[in-house]
Amino acid sequence: MQQTPPSQPTTRRQILAGAGAAGIAAALALPGSTAQAAAEDKERNRRAARALLGRMSLKEKIGQLFVVEVYGKSADTEHAKNKELYGVSTPAEVIAKYRPGGVIYFDARRGPDNLKEPSQVAGLSNGLQRASLRTGARIPLLVSIDQEGGSVVYRMLEPATQLPGNMALAAGRSQGDVRRSSEIIGTELAAMGINQNYAPVADVNINPDNPIIGVRSFGSDPSLCSQLVAESVRGYHRGEVASAAKHFPGHGDTDVDSHTGLPVIKHTRAELDEIDLPPFRAAIARGVDTIMTAHIVVPSLDSSGVPATMSKPIVTGLLREELGFRGLIVTDALDMGGATEDFPPDVAPVRALKAGCDQLVLAPKADTAHAAVLKAVESGEVTEDRLDASVLRILEHKLRNGLFPRPYVDEKRAARVVGNRRHAADCASITDRTVTLVRNEGGTLPLSDAKRTVLVTGWDASQVGTVADTVGKRSGQGATPLATGATPAAAKIEEAVTAAGQHDVTVVLTNAAASPKDKGAAQADLVKALMKTGRPVVAVAVRNAYDIRRFPDVPAYLATFSYGKQSLTSLVRVLYGDIDPAGKLPVSIPALGDGGGTLYEYGHGLGY
């Protein structure tokens, strides 16, 4: 049965509610406007959490530590993968069996296929909450997702509003745009019953070869990153969803992907204080709800060689004690290579808990992981006081976010909120301010109406098609799409060169053309071959801005930092001078090779 939240003039974050029993709920009040009232509310929350804790069994406490994935679009969907992973068939049965503290949603690209359209997602959230509230201590779930914005890490596709992402927003240099972007994402997630977004990324991307962060970061300047991380946290809170700064203590200077390996960050403590830690300090000062740890080794913080997720000096010593963070500490996914390489399923969750983490995300082999934590507590390897400390933080987090009195959402309202016209209009305006013009020799841009025929080529078929369609909708303009892929073969390059000779101008999209180990060399070969035709060439980096390192003499070069549909629409508006390019580089672009100098400085950006 669908339940609709009562109509009240208060926001969910303003409601401090009870802990599973009417008597506790009645004892809690709305927060006052003074520091004293806020302190009193916090103390009431703590008392309510302790009352709940006192009624929980050991297994129920351990369940709260885990954040699991479930397969299917509804709580009652039978799926073979649930059976394989958990021994039960439906998401509701997974919740009943393990009584987890949270779930995390994924789309079909990973496999769980939880996300189709807003009303369905809201129904899934309601069904999982109902399953959780029917079991044991009757504690609502944290329902989480990775919806960072941009075109790299996002789970909810259209009709959800597709914001341009962190580095694009940083190019726009508007704190207000960052705040509004996060507010839109948060509002839409909250409408679907998703109450925890694992965002914003707080990493400072100072390594052009970083394979996993890149445009997910706000850039390479710690000050800018700090300002925008704080505004992003503020925006999520306005949108009534909990925020999570990641990946502590900083994943921005690595050339190894922690999904497949274990990166080592070689920064000294002084460099960490100068580069990596300021955005996390800013997030904490702004009241971030959650901080996610990274599977990275940081020898200057812990010489043992264990990942930060498993490091007590980093999680407890630095984050909890030195930085004074009092919210939830969650692990990055424990099924990633950076965690599984040296820590099997019966070790990783115990080590992360001992390090100081509160919630364990996607621990592989659920039965093994739960049994390992139970054994550790029963043997005294992990004290029950240590366990209780994490469970209390989880319960207080849920109380603070109003999940006990209002665990359900209105499924019909979700369809009205997600992707609404106001959100779409704001997204378009924000994205228009992010496109960055890096190079424009000989006045190549803006394109004149005399350039009637345009070849759009390069990476990828969908994005090439979007740009060509958008150009083709302009009066008197004709556009031909010719996708060449991420690693175009010589024959495909020749086909593009021939086509370029038959068009007035060529727009070529690149993605990771400057990636290391020559992975992007073929894209660079395409751009260089097109330049030899003598026809105007406009190169557009639709992800990282570093691609021009491989073809520095291209006549015109723009960076969108995203290949989302709205970013490509804004690109076309800039190409034809409908709007001026307003973006400024949030990173510097070094020349290729050691000692090659800098091609373009941080803050560079041309206008018309």
Q: What is the pLDDT of residues 39-54, one digit of tens each?
A: 888 888 899 999 999 9
For residue 564, being part of any structural domain is answered with yes
- Binned at pLDDT 50, 70 and 90, residue 517 comes out as low
pLDDT for position 408: 98
Residue 518 CB contacts under 8 Å (≥ 6 apart), including other chains: none
- For residue 590, cis peptide bond before it (omega within 30 degrees of 0): no
- Assess whether 395 and 284 both reside in one domain: yes
For residue 443, give both structure tokens.
């006045």
pLDDT for position 402: 94
- Binned at pLDDT 50, 70 and 90, residue 2 comes out as very low
- Assess whether 189 and 313 both reside in one domain: yes
For residue 8, being part of any structural domain is answered with no
Residue 448 CB contacts under 8 Å (≥ 6 apart), including other chains: none
Q: Closest Cα partner for 311 from 283, 342, 278, 273?
A: 342
Question: Has residue 31 got a pLDDT over 70?
Answer: no
- Residue 106's CATH number: 3.20.20.300
389, 421, 453 — which closes off a domain?
421
- Assess whether 124 and 171 both reside in one domain: yes
For residue 232, being part of any structural domain is answered with yes
**CA gap 576, 464 in Å, rounded:** 17
- Assess whether 365 and 233 both reside in one domain: yes
Could you write out the DSSP letters of every residue in 24-76? HHHH-----SSHHHHHHHHHHHHHHHHHHHTT--HHHHHHHTEEE---SSSTT
- Assess whether 456 and 352 both reside in one domain: no
- Assess whether 97 and 120 both reside in one domain: yes
421, 450, 473 — which closes off a domain?
421
Question: Has residue 164 got a pLDDT over 60?
Answer: yes
How far CA 473 is from CA of 219, 244, 467, 476, in Å, comes to 34, 41, 10, 8
421, 451, 484 — which closes off a domain?
421
- Binned at pLDDT 50, 70 and 90, residue 259 comes out as confident
- Assess whether 192 and 307 both reside in one domain: yes
Percent of the chain surpassing pLDDT 70:
94
For residue 17, being part of any structural domain is answered with no
Which residues share a beta bridge with 37?
A: none
Catalytic residues: 259, 332
Helix/strand number for the chain, H first, E second: 22, 16
- Assess whether 368 and 439 both reside in one domain: no
- Assess whether 414 and 454 both reside in one domain: no
For residue 7, being part of any structural domain is answered with no
pLDDT for position 511: 96
Count of domains forming the chain: 2
Residue 295 CB contacts under 8 Å (≥ 6 apart), including other chains: 258, 262, 263, 307, 308, 309, 332, 336, 337, 338, 339
Q: Closest Cα partner for 582 from 480, 476, 431, 367?
A: 431
- Assess whether 255 and 320 both reside in one domain: yes
- Assess whether 416 and 440 both reside in one domain: no
For residue 574, give both structure tokens.
């800039």
For residue 67, being part of any structural domain is answered with yes
- Assess whether 405 and 536 both reside in one domain: no
Radius of gyration of the chain (CA): 25
Residue 545 and residue 214 in contact, taking contact as beta carbons nearer than 8 Å:
no
**CA gap 92, 115 in Å, rounded:** 16
Q: Closest Cα partner for 182 from 223, 240, 141?
A: 240
**CA gap 522, 18 in Å, rounded:** 60
For residue 428, being part of any structural domain is answered with no
Residue 558 CB contacts under 8 Å (≥ 6 apart), including other chains: 435, 436, 437, 438, 445, 538, 539, 540, 541, 571, 574, 575, 581
Mean of per-residue pLDDT scores for the chain: 92
Eight-class DSSP state of 308: G
In tens, the pLDDT along 330-381 reads 999 999 887 878 899 999 999 999 999 999 999 999 999 999 999 999 999 9
Burial class (CB in 10 A: 0-12, 13-18, 19+), 403: buried
- Overall average pLDDT of the 513-537 stretch: 91
- Residue 516's CATH number: 3.40.50.1700
- Overall average pLDDT of the 86-105 stretch: 98
In tens, the pLDDT along 59-84 reads 999 999 999 999 999 999 999 999 99
For residue 193, being part of any structural domain is answered with yes
> Where in the sequence is the domain holding 163, given as residue range(s)?
55-421
